[in-house]
């Protein structure tokens, strides 16, 4: 194992465990909703998809914060990190309040406008009206996550994720089915459970920073939250806006894909929703490696080691591919068992198998190409990453439209868009990274 792999595993392992715990939340929601029927499963899943599309605003702002913090950490300007984090908190708080207000007034109208099934729209609205309150907590948690990843202290993410997962699973079981002395709320119970879990996540971060972090070393202070530095906020925003838009475009195109699938019928949507849950779960190793690449590439550049970036990315791309290929081979051998976690209907299990094989192929391609894509943003070329994402998304939407509205293809054929999308992303990301044009970027 070379020095790059060791550093990546040092950061990626805790991130992997934390993402695993976080995704258990989504898996639990899907599994519980599946027991309430196809309508509850499809409606809540679509509302959840919209939630995460909007969350990309907070994620993007947090990712920009992470890149700047990692650059300061790599250049040993530790005391400046607190200023970046405090202004990130202010910016994310304002963004969260904005999306909650807009979501409250326009959520129901949106769902009834985009879904052909009024039953799906009604369930999505019921879930959304409660779920959107979680934006304030999830946005602020994104800032904490950026801080800990940026300074390469990712173990706390693991502790936090397990707290959040434990709270969510217990409350899901109690509030959805009326167990543990709690009221039976069905779909809205799942939304409330997720909001409370995110609130507990934020409280955990606050307590951890108070007890375990050397606040003076990193320049952290409560006073900084009451002093708005517009120049620094604009600097974070300028770097973050491209990541934010890139993530929003990516998630929105994925949501649009499911809106298209919904027009094929409630059964295809149920199949696509199950495969989506498996997809997100299998994406965890890739996401973990990408997070490490984001932080370590920025640290390498901050330490004046730009010449090592390409060698680092090439090494981690191979490692990511080998890990993902091994996981996908195991999944492909036991497809019925994997799909059976989310539904007990034999017909659904059988019909979902072909799509499972397709996403395994796409994830292996993504495991290699996505490392270069993450490195492009980490190098400060966030505008270039946005342009690559936009070009890939245009193709993604056109292809999906042809497969669904034009050919009315099966779900597995529709999912082939993921294979082509990641080939596109990988080729253009590597081309730009190898050009060396990113070396002129200053943060």
Q: What is the pLDDT of residues 180-208, one digit of tens each?
A: 999 999 889 999 998 999 999 999 999 99
Q: Which long-range contacts (CB under 8 A, 24 or more apart) does 4-11 make?
A: 4/296, 4/311, 4/312, 4/315, 4/316, 5/315, 5/316, 5/319, 7/292, 7/296, 8/289, 8/292, 8/293, 8/296, 8/316, 8/319, 10/152, 11/149, 11/152, 11/154, 11/291, 11/292, 11/295, 11/296
Picking from 23-27, 34-38, 89-93, 256-260, which range would have the lowest pLDDT averaged per residue? 23-27
Whether residue 15 is predicted with pLDDT greater than 80 in this model: the reply is no
List Cα–Cα distances, 201 to 56, 116, 193, 357, in angstroms: 18, 36, 12, 35
Sign of CA dihedral 152, 153, 155, 159: negative
Per-residue confidence (pLDDT) for residue 2, from 0 to 100:
54
Spatial separation of the C-alpha atoms in residues 49 and 52, rounded to whole Å: 5
Looking at residues 16-29, what average pLDDT do you find? Answer: 68
Residue that wins the pLDDT comparison between 38 and 425? 425
Whether residue 20 is predicted with pLDDT greater than 80 in this model: the reply is no
Looking at residues 147-166, what average pLDDT do you find? Answer: 85
Residue that wins the pLDDT comparison between 35 and 194? 194
Confidence at 413, pLDDT banded by 50, 70, 90: very high
- Tokens for 216, please give them: 């003076």
Spatial separation of the C-alpha atoms in residues 58 and 65, rounded to whole Å: 11
Count of the separate structural domains present in the chain: 1
Determine contact, residues 152/145, Cβ cutoff 8 Å: no
Per-residue confidence (pLDDT) for residue 395, from 0 to 100:
94
* Secondary structure, 3-state, 201-264: HHHHHHHHHHHHCCHHHHCCCHHHHHCCCHHHHHHHHHHHHHHHHHHHHHHHHHHHHHHHHHCC
Per-residue confidence (pLDDT) for residue 1, from 0 to 100:
52
**How high is the mean pLDDT of the chain?**
86
For 141, the domain range is 3-440
- Tokens for 431, please give them: 């081309």
Give 164's Cβ-side CA count (13 Å radius).
30
Per-residue confidence (pLDDT) for residue 4, from 0 to 100:
59
Spatial separation of the C-alpha atoms in residues 4 and 15, rounded to whole Å: 16
Whether residue 282 is predicted with pLDDT greater than 90 in this model: the reply is no
Determine contact, residues 215/151, Cβ cutoff 8 Å: no
Nearest to residue 4, comparing CAs of 287, 295, 302?
295
354: CB partners within 8 A, 6+ apart? 410, 411, 412
Residue that wins the pLDDT comparison between 423 and 22? 423
Residue with tokens 């499972």: 356
24: CB partners within 8 A, 6+ apart? 165, 169
Neighbours of 101 (CB within 10 A): 11
Reduce the DSSP state of residue 181 to 3 states and report it: coil
Looking at residues 399-412, what average pLDDT do you find? Answer: 93
Confidence at 264, pLDDT banded by 50, 70, 90: confident
DSSP class of 405: I
Give 294's Cβ-side CA count (13 Å radius).
31
């Amino acid at each position: 194992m070379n020095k790059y792999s060791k550093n990546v595993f040092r950061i990626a392992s805790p991130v992997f465990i934390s993402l695993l715990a976080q995704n258990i939340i989504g898996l639990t929601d899907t599994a519980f909703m599946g027991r309430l029927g196809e309508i509850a499963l499809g409606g809540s899943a679509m509302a959840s998809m919209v939630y995460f599309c909007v969350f990309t605003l907070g994620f993007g702002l947090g990712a920009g914060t992470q890149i700047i913090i990692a650059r300061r950490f790599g250049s040993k300007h530790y005391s400046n990190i607190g200023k970046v984090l405090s202004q990130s908190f202010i910016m994310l708080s304002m963004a969260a309040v904005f999306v909650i207000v807009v979501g409250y007034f326009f959520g129901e109208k949106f769902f009834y406008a985009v879904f052909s099934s009024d039953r799906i729209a009604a369930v999505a609205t019921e879930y959304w009206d409660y779920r959107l309150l979680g934006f304030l907590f999830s946005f602020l948690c994104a800032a904490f996550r950026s801080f800990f990843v940026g300074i390469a202290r990712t173990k706390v993410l693991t502790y936090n994720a397990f707290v959040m997962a434990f709270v969510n699973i217990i409350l899901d079981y109690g509030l959805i089915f009326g167990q543990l002395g709690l009221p039976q709320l069905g779909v809205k119970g799942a939304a409330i459970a997720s909001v409370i879990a995110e609130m507990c996540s934020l409280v955990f971060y606050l307590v951890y920073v108070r007890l375990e972090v050397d606040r003076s070393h990193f320049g952290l202070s409560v006073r900084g939250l009451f002093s708005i530095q517009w120049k620094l906020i604009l600097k974070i925003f300028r770097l973050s806006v491209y990541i934010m838009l890139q993530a929003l475009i990516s998630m929105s195109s994925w949501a649009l894909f499911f809106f298209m699938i919904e027009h094929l019928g409630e059964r295809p949507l149920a199949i696509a929703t199950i495969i989506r849950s498996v997809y997100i779960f299998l994406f965890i190793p890739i996401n973990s490696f990408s997070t490490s690449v984001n932080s370590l590439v920025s640290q390498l550049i901050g330490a004046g080691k730009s010449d090592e970036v390409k060698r680092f990315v090439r090494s981690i791309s191979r490692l990511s591919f080998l890990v993902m290929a091994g996981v996908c081979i195991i999944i492909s051998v036991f497809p019925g068992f994997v799909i059976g976690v989310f539904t007990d209907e034999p017909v659904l299990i059988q019909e979902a198998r072909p799509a499972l094989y397709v996403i395994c192929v796409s994830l292996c391609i993504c495991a290699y190409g996505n490392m270069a894509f993450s490195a492009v943003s980490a190098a400060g070329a966030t505008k270039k990453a946005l342009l690559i994402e936009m070009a890939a998304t245009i193709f993604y939407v056109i292809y999906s439209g042809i497969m669904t509205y034009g050919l009315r293809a099966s779900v597995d054929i529709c999912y082939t868009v993921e294979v082509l999308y990641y080939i596109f992303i990988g080729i253009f990301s590597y081309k730009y990274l190898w050009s060396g044009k990113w070396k002129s970027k200053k943060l």
